């Protein structure tokens, strides 16, 4: 690829590029115009940052099933003003179930685990969400283009993006929903 052409491409805004692609989109013109607000799920689970982890475990076990058939594996964490402060996922819960010493080079197969799992679960359930949540969460605005969302998700290896308006979560876009929207006929 020509270096000057590559530099030009890296300076262009993705939404500008895809607006130009509308000329070539044919029958998929509706896809090229799709914004986050048009595909976001508005019925998503939230949890207070002060709630016990036990509640998050319950909510994820009994999570909502979306139209695509996928089940919720994470919860948006909100403060007392309903503003998003993080996300707690199945991964966060399982990560914090493990004893801390496993983070310092000790392998799990070096330990005798018999009789310890119940104690690990009990300790985890008594922690609060703000102790285990992921707090550095990237979101999107409701008017961002579907391809901009997809690009952000792919580059950061996210499976979901909260849609934020005035610091308040108003929806969620899942990568599976983007996939379904793009390829479902």
The structural domains of the chain, ordered by start, are: 30-183 (3.10.580.10)
Question: How many Å from the N-terminal Cα to the C-terminal Cα in the chain?
Answer: 35
Mean pLDDT confidence for 94-112: 83
> Considering the chain, what is the average pLDDT of its residues?
84
How confident is the model at residue 104, as a pLDDT?
A: 83
How confident is the model at residue 177, as a pLDDT?
A: 84
How confident is the model at residue 22, as a pLDDT?
A: 47
User: Which pLDDT band holds residue 81 (cuts at 50, 70, 90)?
Assistant: very high
pTM of the model: 0.76
User: Which pLDDT band holds residue 28 (cuts at 50, 70, 90)?
Assistant: low
How confident is the model at residue 36, as a pLDDT?
A: 94
How confident is the model at residue 32, as a pLDDT?
A: 53
How confident is the model at residue 72, as a pLDDT?
A: 82
Report how far residue 43's alpha carbon sits from residue 178's, in angstroms, rounded to the nearest whole number: 16
User: Which pLDDT band holds residue 23 (cuts at 50, 70, 90)?
Assistant: very low
Lowest mean pLDDT across 2-11, 37-46, 111-120:
2-11
Report how far apart, in Å, the C-alpha atoms of 69 and of each of 37, 41, 66, 73, 177 are. 20, 13, 5, 13, 10
Classify the phi-psi angles of 140: left when phi > 0, otherwise alpha if psi is within -120 to 50, otherwise beta: beta
How confident is the model at residue 114, as a pLDDT?
A: 82
pLDDT in tens, 105-160: 878 777 778 888 899 999 999 999 999 999 998 999 999 999 999 999 999 999 89
């Amino acid at each position: 690829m020509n270096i000057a052409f590559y530099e030009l491409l890296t300076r262009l805004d993705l939404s500008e590029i895809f607006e130009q692609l509308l000329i070539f989109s044919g029958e998929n013109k509706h896809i090229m115009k799709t914004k986050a607000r048009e595909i976001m799920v508005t019925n998503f689970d939230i949890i207070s940052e002060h709630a016990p982890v036990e509640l998050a475990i319950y909510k994820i076990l009994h999570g909502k099933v979306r139209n695509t058939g996928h089940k919720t594996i994470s919860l948006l964490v909100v403060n007392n003003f309903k503003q998003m402060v993080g996300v707690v996922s199945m991964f966060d819960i399982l990560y914090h179930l493990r004893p801390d010493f496993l983070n310092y080079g000790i392998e799990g197969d070096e330990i005798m685990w018999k009789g310890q799992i119940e104690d690990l679960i009990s300790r985890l359930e008594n922690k609060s969400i703000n102790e285990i949540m992921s707090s550095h969460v990237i979101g999107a605005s409701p008017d961002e283009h579907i391809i901009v969302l997809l690009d952000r998700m792919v580059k950061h290896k996210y499976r979901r993006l909260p849609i934020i308006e005035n610091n308040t979560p108003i929806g969620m876009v899942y990568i599976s929903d983007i996939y379904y929207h793009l390829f479902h006929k």
